Amino acid sequence: MAEKIIINIKEDGAVEVKTHGFKGKACMKSSQFIEEALGTITSTRKTAEFYSEELQERVRVSRG
């Protein structure tokens, strides 16, 4: 899944920021600059992607 940030501005002026495709704490880091620019955060909800580990590749090479 491609990483993206979705910003939804509601009729009452409230702004909702959603991230998709980020794993672990990267989702919060990716949208932090937007949240700081907008002002006070009224609520935060972490999705399952937040609790997913970032993918890491390990390779073991042996000669034998």
- Beta bridge partners, 43, equal none
Burial 35-45 (b: 16+ CB within 10 A, else e): eeeeeeeeeee
- Cβ(44)–Cβ(27) below 8 Å: no
| DSSP 8-state code for residue 27 | H
Query: Per-residue pLDDT tens for 48-60?
Result: 777 776 555 566 6
Note the pTM of the prediction, 2 decimals. 0.65
Distances (CA, A) of 43 to 1, 34, 53, 54, 62: 26, 15, 23, 25, 50
Query: Per-residue pLDDT tens for 7-42?
Result: 988 898 888 998 888 888 888 888 889 888 888 888
63: pLDDT strictly greater than 60: yes
